[in-house]
Structure 1
Amino acid sequence: MRASDVVLRHLEAQLEDGTLVVGMRLPGERTLAEQLGVSRGSVREALQVLEAMGVLRRAVGSGQDAGAVLVAEPSAPLDSALRLHVATRAFDVQQVVETRMLLESWAVGRAATTGGSLDAARALLADMDDPDLDVRDFLRLDARFHVELAALSGNALVALIMTSIRGSIEAYVQRSVPRVTDWPDLLAKLRREHHAVLDAVAAGDVAGASATVVRHIAEFYERSGLQQPESRGGG
């Protein structure tokens, strides 16, 4: 095991047993190095990993605000990691879309049982219903609408993953704009389906909401051409 992994395992164990909690300041690099019998460089490497993961925030200098503080900010690291892996083709778009359908079908079904406020989702639909809205702006609002649906499930992790998934395929979705020749018809279809999903959620129709959102996602990606493999050479 690498020395930096020793540090990571030590801190993970202390988080699990409650010795460390979010908001606490870690001991200094020298203290951690002496406690664990590793070099300060290994401690520094481990802290850099934790900072990149959104588990740690470090401030340089001296005084009360200096040092490393434990935080819980997973959104940006997860979003960045997934976007990069999609960009490198570690996950192709089809796999990401299938994962999205799996998560969203569960999320809207759960949202139909929670009784949460639908005001934010309805406001997004109202914005998308503007007939003069640019296609690219519509797609950005569309992404926010689906993330809002995931949040209505009440499951923060599902909402976070959905945010990351939408961010990871944003470039591909925007790239679909010139491929589609019948945007007026497609936008009208998407608007109807958005309202149908939200109406099913409002009515407490678990099966209807889940089936409608799966069909909505699958048909959009089919019509946009995103299910077709893309050349690695660009264009």
Structure 2
Amino acid sequence: MTSESPSSDLTTASHPRAWEQVLNTVEAMMVSGELLPGQRLPGERTLAADLGVGRSSVREALRVMEALGLLKAQTGSGPNAGAMIVSRPTGGMTMLMRMQVAAHGFPVSDVVQTRLVLESEVMRTLAQTPSADLTTAVEMLDSMDEPTLTADEFLVLDAQFHVAMADAAGNQVIAAMMAGLRASIESYVVAGVDVAAWPGTCTRLRHEHRGLVDAVAKGDAPLAQNRIVAHIRGYYEGVRTDS
């Protein structure tokens, strides 16, 4: 039996697999501006020929990119067929965080603490930005006032409200991370809902959400930050946050 030398390991590491080569090429095209959000990738046959790889490698790379939320694939033929670059890819981050929490790689308590850090910064930024557009966030609040909403429906709108606030703050990375963080522990949140106490909890959350918007409108950053910390901590009170 022979053993591989260190140099052979280095050679293997320096030469990516065929599907990784496709990923690297698409990434370079996006960085250079050759591919922009909303544009479609060249067809499988063209990519395979240009890169000197098999079509199966192209398909594998496209499946990875679709799973990561970078592409939206359309089957069939015609101008709307093929794979299109998604303008705001957050699926990959969400999937990663969900898997990490499920595998106990990310303790739920750590996820909650990270939310506190990120959303405190969001509220500080919003309170110091008089031109911030909170229209979408307020629309979410108005939707949450509907008395017939189930707990699940309310929590979906709740998550959209928090992401809308991050969007208004103008940091897309924070917005994407927040969406992933919230989705990663969604099942824990839903499972932790006390059905008997939900009407009171729902009323409290509505009041706290309005208080967040009010603090931002006043331009009071310390108040906005204090309120978001109290809101998030209160939100997870009673829900098990350790893995």
Q: How many Å apart are 1:187 and its aligned residue? A: 5.1
Residue 176 (structure 1) aligns with: 192
Structure 1 residues 136 and 23, CA, compared in 2 at 3 Å: closer, same or farther? closer
Is residue 2:241 matched to residue 1:227?
yes
Kept in 2, the 8 Å contact 1:136–1:177? The answer is no
Take 2:40 and 2:114, find their aligned partners in 1: how far apart are those partners?
A: 37
Q: How many Å apart are 1:8 and its aligned residue? A: 1.3
Kept in 1, the 8 Å contact 2:188–2:239? The answer is no
Q: Which whole-Å deviations, capped at 9, do the CAs of 1:126-172 have from their partners, x for residues lacking one? A: 66567887655554443333233223212233223222322222211
Is residue 2:200 matched to residue 1:146?
no
Residue 161 (structure 1) aligns with: 177
Take 2:61 and 2:192, find their aligned partners in 1: how far apart are those partners?
A: 40
Of residues 3, 15, 38, the one that matches 2:30 is 15
Take 1:71 and 1:134, find their aligned partners in 2: how far apart are those partners?
A: 31
Residue 79 (structure 1) aligns with: 94
Q: How many Å apart are 1:201 and its aligned residue? A: 0.8
Partner amino acid, structure 2, of 1:172: Y
Take 1:52 and 1:65, find their aligned partners in 2: how far apart are those partners?
A: 20
Kept in 2, the 8 Å contact 1:108–1:152? The answer is no
- Percent of matched pairs sharing the same residue: 44
Kept in 2, the 8 Å contact 1:54–1:72? The answer is no
RMSD: 3.1
Listed as ranges, the gaps of 5+ residues in structure 1 are 230-235
Take 2:239 and 2:114, find their aligned partners in 1: how far apart are those partners?
A: 18
Structure 1 residues 39 and 200, CA, compared in 2 at 3 Å: closer, same or farther? same
Partner amino acid, structure 2, of 1:163: A
Query: Residue 83 of structure 1 aligns to a residue in which SS?
Result: helix
Structure 1 residues 205 and 60, CA, compared in 2 at 3 Å: closer, same or farther? same
Q: How many Å apart are 1:35 and its aligned residue? A: 2.7
Q: Which whole-Å deviations, capped at 9, do the CAs of 1:43-66 have from their partners, x for residues lacking one? A: 221122122223333334444444
Is residue 2:82 matched to residue 1:70?
no
Superposed, which structure 2 residues align to 1:19-30 within 5 Å?
19-30=34-45
Take 1:35 and 1:126, find their aligned partners in 2: how far apart are those partners?
A: 52
Partner amino acid, structure 2, of 1:227: T
Structure 1 residues 30 and 139, CA, compared in 2 at 3 Å: closer, same or farther? closer
Superposed, which structure 2 residues align to 1:1-235 within 5 Å?
1-115=16-130, 116-122=132-138, 124-125=140-141, 136-178=152-194, 189-221=204-236, 223-229=237-243
Query: Residue 68 of structure 1 aligns to a residue in which SS?
Result: strand
Query: Residue 128 of structure 2 aligns to a residue in which SS?
Result: helix
Q: Normalising by structure 1, report the TM-score.
A: 0.78
Take 1:89 and 1:100, find their aligned partners in 2: how far apart are those partners?
A: 18
Query: Residue 106 of structure 2 aligns to a residue in which SS?
Result: coil
Partner amino acid, structure 2, of 1:84: M
Stretch deviating more after TM superposition (117-126 or 161-170):
117-126
Q: Normalising by structure 2, report the TM-score.
A: 0.76
Kept in 2, the 8 Å contact 1:57–1:69? The answer is yes
Query: Residue 38 of structure 1 aligns to a residue in which SS?
Result: coil
Listed as ranges, the gaps of 5+ residues in structure 2 are 1-15
Number of aligned residue pairs: give it.
227
